[in-house]
């Protein structure tokens, strides 16, 4: 009897189907496509293999598919379809091509799967859905689970006993982000308080089996508290009252530190698309460097505050879009376990990344760059920096090395 595996995933995963007409081959353009020795032996039988595939590490037999002059995969047809899959079937493909855009994680006895938003077909399915994203458990057969060893599964590192309450924590966080009686910012504040409390309960501890049972019971009580209508009505207003946003701190953090890798000293390294989006932010916030190329954080903060009404209208108009983005990013990046740091620091990176994204989207809409195609272009570019770069989150984390308190993070990033 074939073995089945238990998967937790958004419902959209089961509905996803590659569409070359919509895709414009973004996953096959300007990306390194690696193949191992086994796949190389398979591909080497193709007529043009010697010209297309080059060996980059002879010792471990690692190979790289050379892109065309226009930086497309050479196996791509003029209809943006893979001719290898068309002619030989999906089983013929390398691990990279067979897996994308799926990310799969292992949480102890179960697995999770979601789609990365650099795939425009997935991005459209996820972001423009009016109803909250729904999740499901599915049984996946061995054939699909391993796909002949091609599915890359990342094992999430955590305390073995703590892993037992990971799923419940994720469901609780998703529930908070989908609480539509609150604004997006209020939900992020609520999430911060929740993770701060959970961090206190778990951080730096190794749990015995009996201690884990107590922890799971306490966690369930915490989740029930946060999900109750009484908590929303009585406790949330008190929580929101003690978070006081500081626009100048926001500007200093976002522009002087977090935007550093996108703009400023490394602007020359940005793609043409990246420069376009960064220039929109500069234009909307009226950022004008002086003769020494310095900018005033006070002036930027003042300009940011002047846009309060416009930002509020934006948040209301695009609330489902922003919610779906946050939920998918939380899930596919396995927060608050993505970084081997405290939950508070994971939260800081998650919110910071989102605020950069939100600011770019807001600026684009103010410049009438707001069609579905426009937004998908931004999502594609930003997700490439965010999800496909191993350094992006690490660079942000550097600015939160001493961040053990949730309040300064929220007050620097979240305006109610």
Q: Give the model's pLDDT for residue 108.
A: 73
CA distances from 11 to 16, 181, 216 (A): 9, 23, 26
- Could you tell me which residues are beta bridge partners of residue 105? 112, 154
Q: Give the model's pLDDT for residue 265.
A: 44
CA distances from 90 to 73, 86, 100, 153, 161 (A): 16, 8, 12, 18, 38
Query: Could you tell me how far CA 195 lies from the centroid of its own chain?
Result: 18
* Cα distance between residue 412 and residue 262, in whole Å: 20
DSSP state of 66: P
Determine contact, residues 140/40, Cβ cutoff 8 Å. no
* Cα distance between residue 328 and residue 9, in whole Å: 10
* Cα distance between residue 98 and residue 2, in whole Å: 22
Buried b (16+ CB within 10 A) or exposed e, 188-202: bbbbbbbbbbbbeeb
* Cα distance between residue 42 and residue 23, in whole Å: 27
Residue 59, exposed/middle/buried by CB under 10 A (0-12, 13-18, 19+)?
A: exposed
pLDDT in tens, the chain (416 residues): 678 888 999 999 988 887 766 675 556 666 667 777 777 888 878 877 777 777 655 455 577 888 888 778 888 887 777 888 888 887 787 777 777 788 889 877 788 999 989 888 899 999 999 999 999 999 988 877 776 555 678 888 777 777 777 888 899 999 999 999 999 999 999 999 999 999 888 876 777 888 888 888 998 899 999 999 999 999 999 999 999 999 999 988 887 666 665 544 444 456 788 889 988 998 999 988 777 777 788 999 999 999 999 999 999 999 999 999 999 999 999 999 888 888 999 999 999 999 999 999 999 999 999 999 999 999 988 988 777 665 777 778 888 887 778 888 998 999 98
Q: Crossing angle, helix 319-332 and helix 120-127, to 10 degrees?
A: 120
Contacts of 286 (CB under 8 A, 6+ apart): 299, 303
Report the DSSP pairing between strands 62-65 and 53-57.
Answer: antiparallel
* Cα distance between residue 124 and residue 116, in whole Å: 11
The number of residues in the chain equals 416
Candidates 42, 49, 27; CA nearest to 96 is 27
pTM: 0.88
* Cα distance between residue 97 and residue 76, in whole Å: 12
Kindly state the tokens that stand for 47. 């007529």
Q: Give the model's pLDDT for residue 24.
A: 58
Kindly state the tokens that stand for 252. 């200093």
């Amino acid at each position: 009897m074939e073995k089945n595996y238990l998967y937790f995933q958004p419902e959209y995963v089961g509905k996803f189907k590659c569409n070359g007409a919509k895709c414009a081959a973004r996953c096959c353009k300007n990306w390194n496509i690696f193949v191992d020795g086994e796949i190389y032996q398979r591909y080497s039988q193709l007529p043009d293999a010697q010209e297309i595939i080059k060996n980059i590490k002879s010792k471990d037999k690692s190979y790289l598919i050379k892109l065309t002059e226009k930086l497309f995969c050479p196996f791509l047809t003029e209809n943006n379809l893979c001719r290898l899959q068309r002619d030989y079937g999906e089983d013929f493909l390398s691990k990279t091509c067979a897996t994308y855009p799926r990310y799969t994680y292992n949480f102890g006895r179960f697995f999770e799967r979601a789609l990365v938003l650099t795939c425009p077909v997935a991005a459209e399915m996820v972001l423009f859905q009016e109803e909250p994203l729904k999740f499901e458990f599915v049984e996946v057969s061995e054939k699909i689970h391993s796909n002949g060893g091609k599915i890359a599964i990342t094992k999430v590192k955590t305390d073995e006993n703590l892993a037992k309450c990971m799923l419940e924590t994720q469901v609780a966080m998703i529930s908070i982000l989908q609480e539509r009686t609150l604004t997006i910012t209020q939900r992020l504040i609520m999430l911060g308080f929740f993770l701060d409390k959970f961090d206190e309960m778990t951080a730096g501890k190794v749990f015995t089996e009996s201690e884990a049972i107590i922890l799971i019971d306490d966690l369930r009580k915490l989740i029930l508290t946060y999900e109750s209508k009484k908590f929303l009505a009585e406790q949330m207003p008190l929580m929101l009252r003690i978070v006081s946003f500081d626009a100048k701190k926001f500007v200093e953090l976002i522009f002087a530190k977090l935007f550093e890798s996108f703009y400023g000293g490394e602007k020359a390294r940005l793609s043409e698309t990246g420069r376009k989006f960064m220039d929109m932010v500069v234009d909307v916030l009226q950022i004008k460097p002086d003769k020494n190329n310095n900018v005033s954080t006070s002036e930027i903060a003042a300009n940011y505050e002047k846009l309060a009404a416009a930002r509020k209208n934006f948040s209301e108009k695009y609330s489902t879009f922003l919610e779906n983005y946050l939920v998918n990013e939380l899930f596919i990046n396995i927060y608050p376990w993505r970084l081997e740091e405290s939950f508070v620091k994971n939260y800081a990176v998650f919110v910071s990344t989102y605020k950069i994204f939100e600011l770019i989207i807001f600026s684009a809409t103010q410049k009438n760059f707001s069609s579905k195609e426009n937004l998908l272009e931004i999502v594609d570019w930003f997700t490439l920096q965010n999800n496909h770069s191993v350094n992006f989150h690490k660079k942000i984390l550097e600015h939160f090395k001493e961040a053990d308190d949730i309040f300064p993070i929220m007050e620097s990033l979240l305006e109610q």
